[in-house]
A and B are shown apart, each in its own frame.
Chain A
Amino acid sequence: MTGEAPLLSARDLHKTYGPTPALDGVSMDVRAGEIVAVMGPSGSGKSTLMHCLAGIVRPDAGELRYRDRNLITASDAERSALRRREFGFVFQFGQLVPELTCLENVALPLRMEGVRRGEAERRAAHWLDRLDVADVAGKRPGQVSGGQGQRVAVARALVTDPAVVFADEPTGALDSLNGELVMRLLTECVEQSGTAVVLVTHEPAVAAYSHREVVMRDGRIRTSAGMVQ
């Protein structure tokens, strides 16, 4: 894995919110198919790092490349397009659109890319099936359990066949059983497709699903260690 060119490459990233430095010279690479866990206490800068790597937030200084594209100089529209086409996201509370059905939620990233509704929902149904939540396709997020909702969120992240999935505390709102189920399904899916995952978590049990751990503190990477699962 180390011989391949990195998908994402960050060098000396700096980002400050007000007087507080959220990132203070962070460098790291993410390679295709790699699951990287970013760990650290609250306020250590791990979510900010994820937002920078995903092109959601533009760093104040440093270098950031996705494949051959410079994410620092890319326009907002270019970064948005990149997020729609190449990246997927899973958030702590799912962040499903409450008024859409689960099927429509999963189809949403495809529809935003202009895929016709029928085709988008066919592919969405396939992913719901893979994540074992096909039975909630017609229900709204408010009508399903937390675990089911998070699996729907994972399906939504994967439906575009992204190169990288960013997961911010994906099990933070779930009990341990559901958390394990979500992580198992997520890692199974990405390993089959060769998708990289940037996993922000403070739970060692969740980090155990990763190939490599990056520990952050005060906006800096303190340790980075490869693991064998």
Chain B
Amino acid sequence: MTGGPASGAGWVRQLAFGVRLAFRGGATGWTRVALTATAVGLGVAFLLLAASVPNLLSARDARESARVDYLQHLERRGDDTLLLGFVDTQFHGIRIRGRLLQPEGPAAPVPPGLTALPRPGEMVVSPALAALLSAPGSELLRTRLDYRIVGQIEDEGLSGPGEFAFYAGSDRLEGWSGVQRLNAFGDPTPGDGLSPRLMLLVIVAFVVLLTPVVIFIAAAVRFGGESRDRRLAALRLMGADRRMTRRYAAGEALAGGLLGLAVGVVLFLAGRQLIGRFTLWDISVFPADARPSLPLAVSIAGAVPALAVTVSLGVLRKIAVEPLGVVRRSAQGRRRLWWRLLLPFAGLALLAPLFGGRADTDGQLARVQVGGGAVLLLVGVVTLLPWLVEAVVRRIGGGGGVSWQLAVRRIQLDSASSARLVSGVAVAVAGAIALQTLVAGVESVSVQDTGADLHRAQVNVVLSEGATFAEAKKITSRFAATPGVRSVTGTATSIGLVAGTDQDVPFIMGACPDLREMAEITRCRPGDVFITEHDPESSDAPEPPRPGQQVTVEDATWTIPATVTRVKGRRSPDGGVWRGAVLATPEAAADLAAKPLRLSLYLGLDRSDPDAVELVRNTAAEISPLTQVYGIQEVQVDDKFAGIVRGILVGTVAILLLIGASMLATTLDQLRERRALLAALTAFGARRGMLTRATLWQMAVPVALGLVPAVLIGTGLGLALLAMLGLPLHVSPANLLVTVSAGAGVVALVTLASLPVQLRLMRPEGLRTE
């Protein structure tokens, strides 16, 4: 026995003895410590990753901000100016950022990540693009980017290691439409950041993802609890008093916590090296950017061991460690409900003042309120669960099969353990439901239906630098001859000015079949002109120009003929509608037909041929590298919103897997504790299926019960967040079902994964006592 019970030095020695105790006990002891450390380590690694997100985002933002090239539109060339064309493209769904560069003087700026500007015919590429270009199956892309590779873009010029990007040199950008002149890269003003709605989503996402991690860590430090209790009882037999046993236990928990912390740091550092190799939904991260913020890292380093000790001592309060064994304090009576309701109600009380859209304006305070309210509501699931499990299983009789009876009796005997086992899943499901409800609400304002009709066309090609009508016909023919292209319609467009007014008027030129794609035209012959009506619901729209009025288009003046016909606008294949626009056949405006107008083509493709769109992009690049090729989409998603939703998806999956791992470890721990009993039941001839079903029921019953408060509180939190944003309240039963099923699926997976160990523990070797 180490140290006297009263002295301060003895206190420290007892704590240190507890630490040493954790590593004793042979293979079983080491297994227990390793299990705890691994589980705590996983949680710590996750927390460190979350603590790195601020640095990760700011480093990424800083690099993206430093390469901003769309803000300057200089008029005059100089020694320090650079012409820049945007030549972004895609290849089989991979987005490639591309820029054409043409220096106008020796002091032209060089983009971040490049040491020198590439010369005409040369390009500098990102490592990811270099790998893609040299990979088999990239022939079409190599044809499109037919430049000689002379170097790689360094890290400071990329948003992430997986970004596909290139800078190519050119000598043909002078005078091209859409080309910008600049003398510096970078955005001198801070970015617009996230909107309050998206910020709210991020805060809630963090709370939802991190609360289960903390619960996971709390569960992990309890591994091997029963054998620890037996050890402490043995120490009591040797003369340790209750205080000393508490210090031994604290020391033991501290060892698990500290080792877990170390494992977590190692896992984080190792994971950080791997993180750069993966790109998920266009997001890739430089390992060097994943640096935890110092205050958060210090908080984690202090909080995890403290949590381990607190949880361990909390457990000891519920038992009496006596020299002859451990006695569970059963005189605690039934669990009370009232204080368990305090947490969720306190959470609601924090959120309630923000209802009605005030979250948009209240800034920092609102964020704290939202975060705190969400935490309290979610932790409410954890506090409610033991009461609910106890209240329900108390009423369940021991009827049914033997497996059911074994499971129910086990839960009745220790409902707290059962509730604890599934509290992580319940909180994760509650959080996921809240997030889904919120996402569905925000989605209604961030995701817009474009009105596109993919049956008419799938690709829109835009030639900004323009083409005369004769050239446009040739270009159209080239696209029509491209393999995989089924149909091509297109128009030349410009914005004219009604003479004598400051009224803009869209001017669209095309052959009759092409104009029919833009308006509801029944009869059309060469030489006809049409004007589309304004949106009847828009009261402030100016009247369309009248016959006889003159319109100036591309410096040429043209008179609207008396024969003009008013028609209703029709949605173009990409969903846009021209209102109050002049639609003219080339024969009606011969002067304008000779002017280079912006060309917009709609292409219908063979949708069974994945190379069709790539061939179109190659044709476009041959015509002009600045030609833009857009895939027509039925919905348009705010980029930032889409990024957050992806992040939430990744996080939710990771959390559910983490919790599944925790449940598996806890289940295996419990199975190991019952090794002798399992073997004895097998000796009796118990069927393995029966014992396996008992394990399944033992987890399924608390999970089913845990999902009830999870659904209620998750939905409540989601609706509260919607109310705060002033968005319509709506709950999607389909989303609920998916989330609840995912939670239940984790349980099924854990049971399945624990089967091999359970079957092994049922072997008669468990009966050996010598």
Binding site for B on A (CB under 8 A): 42-43, 47, 51, 54, 56-57, 80-85, 87, 89, 91-93, 95, 97-101, 104, 108-109, 111-112, 117, 140, 142, 168-169
Contact = CB atoms under 8 A, between A and B. Distances in A.
Interface string B383-409: 000000000000000110010011001
Contacts of B413: 98-99, 140
Contacts of A80: 682, 685-687
Interface stretch (B13-21, B575-583, B761-769): B761-769
B410 interface: yes
Contacts of A56: 682-683, 764, 767
B495 interface: no
A95 to B, nearest CB: 4
Interface in B666-689: 676-677, 680-687
Given A95-B680, A99-B413, A47 B767 contact: yes
A156 to B, nearest CB: 8
Nearest to A90: B680
B769 to A, nearest CB: 6
Interface in B175-203: none
Contacts of B398: 104, 117
Contacts of A140: 413
A99 B769 contact: no
B684 A104 contact: no
Contacts of A168: 767, 769
B680 A43 contact: no
B687 A99 contact: no
Nearest to A169: B769
B770 A99 contact: no
Given A100-B405, A117-B399, A168-B767, A91 B680 contact: yes
B559 interface: no
Contact of A97 (B328, B677, B685, B764): B677
B399 A97 contact: no
Contacts of A51: 683, 764, 767
Contacts of B557: none
Contacts, number: 81
A112 B677 contact: no
A112 B399 CA distance: 13
A95 B767 CA distance: 10
Contact of B685 (A83, A91, A99): A83
B684 A84 contact: yes
Given A99-B412, A112-B684, A93 B402 contact: no
Interface in B727-770: 764, 767-770
Contacts of B764: 51, 56-57
Contacts of A42: 770
Nearest to B690: A112
11 contacts: A80-B686, A84-B686, A85-B685, A91-B680, A91-B767, A95-B680, A97-B406, A98-B677, A99-B414, A101-B409, A112-B402
A112 B767 contact: no
Contacts of B768: 47
Nearest to A110: B402
A139 B398 CA distance: 14
Nearest to A117: B399
A85 B768 CA distance: 23
Contact of A109 (B677, B684, B687, B770): B684
Contacts of B402: 108, 111-112
A89 B409 contact: no
A104 B405 contact: yes
A206 B666 CA distance: 40
A111 B690 CA distance: 11
B685 A82 contact: yes
A89 B767 CA distance: 11
A57 B328 CA distance: 36
Give 7 closest A-B pairs by Cβ, nearest first: A84-B685, A83-B685, A95-B680, A99-B409, A99-B413, A56-B764, A99-B410
B687 to A, nearest CB: 7
Contact of B409 (A43, A84, A104): A104
A118 B680 CA distance: 24
B769 A95 contact: no
A174 to B, nearest CB: 14
Given A99-B413, A111-B405, 10 more contacts: A51-B764, A54-B683, A56-B682, A81-B685, A85-B685, A95-B676, A98-B677, A99-B406, A117-B398, A142-B328
B443 to A, nearest CB: 47
A98 B410 CA distance: 8
A47 B770 contact: yes
Nearest to A84: B685
Contacts of B406: 97, 99-100
Contacts of B677: 95, 97-98
**Which of B412, B414, B686 gathers the greatest number of chain A CB atoms within 10 Å?**
B686
Nearest to B328: A142
Interface in B187-237: none
Nearest to B680: A95
Nearest to A81: B685
B758 to A, nearest CB: 15
A102 to B, nearest CB: 12
A82 B685 CA distance: 7
**Which of A56, A81, A85 gathers the greatest number of chain B CB atoms within 10 Å?**
A56
